[in-house]
Structure 1
Amino acid sequence: MTEQLFTLPVLKQLSPAITQCQIADLPILVVNHPTGRAAIALQGAHLLSWQPAGQKSVIWLSSETAFQPGVAIRGGVPICWPWFGPAGKPSHGFARNLPWQLTAQSEDEAGVKLTLTLKDSEETRTLWPHAFTLHAHFTLSEQCSIELESLGDFETTSALHAYFEIGDIAEVKVEGLGQPYIDKVASGEQAVLEGALTFDGQVDRIFTRPEAKSLIVDSALNRTLRVEHQGNSDVVSWNPGAENSASMKDMADDGYKTMVCVETAAVSRSQISTSTTPARLAIKIAIE
């Protein structure tokens, strides 16, 4: 699926490194730069792929996802905003299901920078009665960073819901999550993690005192992914497990084997944005 993104016909050349293409019914931005390549759907300002030069893909994208307007994309880095989970409808907020605008771009030998913007509309105000401006700032080079900046007067919960490509979920461990967590599989029970997180069946945990840096240690692909978190109160780790993966129409039955989510999130404590002080949430990803 990821490779398909980089063989799409070019609809518009925006700069030497940036083109606009389309997959099914969705426009996407494709970045080809000496430091690496990436793809971002304008719907949701949704990072679909990031691959540093000479490396395997870092971001996981479901082979079964629908690229349809208003339908959430499975995989990549969805922007969950202005709420996380089922706090409202649609689940994980509306920002990931709406078209954003490309409002800034630049590139040099170090990499590519893009800003996508979403503003309130009559449609959003029927779902959430607030005026807002939301920016997603992308820096794409040998590392990848996404900063979500929200301006207005409101409280939100949110997440940069990153899906990572791995070799085998049975051979992965995640370090740096912190110890206390809320176990959503066990009806929200609170527990303490001893050591690294490993995966045996469905996992859905909100770590409420995370470290600033998480490490995805992937022995199957012989690499470690570094995930740095800023502006967050929590880090969420999720894998649906075999049974749930088989029941999800936008994920292959064995899709759970090659993905793990490590999400920079503000869930247990909401973020407050004012007209003078925006709220910020950021993730930085690199291969160690």
Structure 2
Amino acid sequence: MSEQFFTLPVTKQISPSISQSQIADLPLLVITHPKGRAAITLQGAHLVSWQPTGQKPVIWLSSETAFEPGVAIRGGVPVCWPWFGPAGKPSHGFARNLPWQLTAHRENDSVVNLTLTLKDSEETRKYWPHAFTLHAHFSFGDQCSIELESHGDFETTSALHAYFEIGDISEVKVEGLGQPYIDKVANGETALLQGPLTFNGLTDRIFTDPEKESLIVDPVLKRTLSVKHQGNSDVVSWNPGAENSASMKDMADDGYKTMVCVETAAISHSQISTAAAPAKLAIVFGIK
């Protein structure tokens, strides 16, 4: 799926490593660098691809997703802000459905850094009454990192809802999730995980005392992905399973087989942003 991003016509060359293209109806930033390549839609500041040089893609993207203005992208790393889940409309907040602006970038032989910015507007105030400035800082090198930084005077829940490419959901396991967890499939019951998390059908768990690093152990692709969490209160792991995957119009029937979500989140404890102290939430991932 992601290969198409790197063969699109360039509409604007921003720097030696950064160009702008168009995917269907959405502007796309394309990063091509000796360390690897990546793609981010300006809608949602949404990372849709990251592939270190010489490695298989790390980020999963649905083959059925729509690249349409105002329509959420299925896969990649959605920015869920200023709320997580169905706490308001649209679900997972408005930040992932609105256009952002590229406000800073720099690069050297080791890394490419970009900042995309979303500010309050007449459109955002339809959903949420607060003035804000939200930055998404991206870094692409040996690892990929995304940091949300929110300025203003308000309280939020949020997540960096990362979808990772795997070989086979029935073979993968996730370590380092912590204890306990809220099982959203079992009506919000609290439970303890015995050993690593494995997947057999719909899985949706919020780990409320997570470790700082989760590991996605993938025997099929013969790799382990490290996912580090910063500024969070929770880590979420999700896979829709076969039945839900088949019912989702933006996911192939078998899409669930090659993806797993391990998300850095602030859900059980909301974040407070003030003018003096912006709230920050970050995810850092790579091949271990």
Aligning the two structures, in what range does the TM-score lie when normalised by the shorter sequence? over 0.9
Structure 2: distance between partners of 1:176 and 1:119 = 35
Q: Deviations over 1:199-244 (max 9, x none)?
A: 0000000000000000000001000000000000000000000000
Residue 207 of structure 1 corresponds to: 207
Q: Secondary structure at the match of 1:197?
A: coil
Shift in Å, 1:66: 0.1
Shift in Å, 1:270: 0.2
Number of equivalenced pairs? 288
User: Is 1:179–1:194's contact at 8 Å kept on the other side of the alignment?
Assistant: no
Task: Give the aligned CA root-mean-square deviation in angstroms.
Answer: 0.4
Structure 2: distance between partners of 1:2 and 1:142 = 19
Residue 249 of structure 1 corresponds to: 249
Residue 38 of structure 1 corresponds to: 38
What is the TM-score with the length of structure 1 in the denominator?
A: 1.00
The question of 1:58 aligning with 2:58 is answered: yes
Residue 184 of structure 2 corresponds to: 184
Shift in Å, 1:179: 2.0
User: Is 1:236–1:261's contact at 8 Å kept on the other side of the alignment?
Assistant: yes
The question of 1:235 aligning with 2:229 is answered: no
Residue 267 of structure 1 corresponds to: 267
Structure 2: distance between partners of 1:109 and 1:147 = 21
Structure 1: distance between partners of 2:192 and 2:234 = 14
Shift in Å, 1:142: 1.4
Shift in Å, 1:174: 0.2
Residue 24 of structure 1 corresponds to: 24
Residue 47 of structure 1 corresponds to: 47
Q: Counterparts of 1:213-232 in structure 2 under 5 Å?
A: 213-232=213-232
Q: Secondary structure at the match of 1:96?
A: helix
Moved over 2 A (4+): none
Shift in Å, 1:141: 1.1
Q: Secondary structure at the match of 2:170?
A: helix
* Aligned partner letter, 2:195: G
The question of 1:90 aligning with 2:62 is answered: no
* Aligned partner letter, 1:162: A
Shift in Å, 1:111: 1.4
Q: Deviations over 1:109-158 (max 9, x none)?
A: 01100000000001111100000000000001111000000000000000
Q: Deviations over 1:158-207 (max 9, x none)?
A: 00000000000001000000120000011111111011000000000000
Structure 1: distance between partners of 2:184 and 2:126 = 29
Residue 81 of structure 2 corresponds to: 81
Gaps of 5+ in 2: none
Q: Deviations over 1:49-76 (max 9, x none)?
A: 0000000000000000000000000000
* Aligned partner letter, 1:67: F
Q: Secondary structure at the match of 1:5?
A: helix
* Aligned partner letter, 1:197: L
User: Is 1:25–1:69's contact at 8 Å kept on the other side of the alignment?
Assistant: yes
Structure 1: distance between partners of 2:191 and 2:255 = 27
Structure 2: distance between partners of 1:177 and 1:23 = 35
Structure 1: distance between partners of 2:24 and 2:228 = 33
Residue 174 of structure 2 corresponds to: 174
Residue 70 of structure 1 corresponds to: 70
Q: Percent identity?
A: 80
Shift in Å, 1:274: 0.3
* Aligned partner letter, 1:16: P
